[in-house]
Amino acid sequence: MVLCVSELATNALVHGVPPGRGFLVRLLPCGDGVRVEVHDSGDGVPAVPQTDVREPGEGGRGLLLVSELADKWGVGERAPGKIVWCEVGIT
């Protein structure tokens, strides 16, 4: 879950926060787990990259990691911006 929070928050900082704006991270109970929400005011819709992630470089793997580690993830609407979320079960 910590890695999912880190990746979603980093994506918000790098891609979703226009200058002078902030973002919000929320952790909410969700069934037998936790829902992580990151609210930002940027444009665009995040997606898992369709390219070969074995290519060298430091970026482009965050949402791939979230999609593999979380039980579910998605993007919701917010005015302005979006909410990127994931749900992680606690066992």
The ranges assigned to domains in the chain are: 2-48+63-89
Torsion on CA atoms 11, 15, 20, 26, rounded to nearest 10: -30
pLDDT, one tens digit per residue, over 58-80 is: 667 889 999 999 999 999 999 98
57 vs 74: CA distance, rounded Å: 25
Angle at 24 between CA 5 and CA 10, to 5 degrees: 45
Please report where in the chains the tokens 């979006």 appear, as a residue: 82
Give the CATH number of domain 2-48+63-89; options: 3.50.50.60, 1.10.10.60, 3.90.550.10, 3.30.565.10.
3.30.565.10
Q: Is the pTM of this model over 0.75?
A: yes
pLDDT, one tens digit per residue, over 48-60 is: 877 665 656 666 7
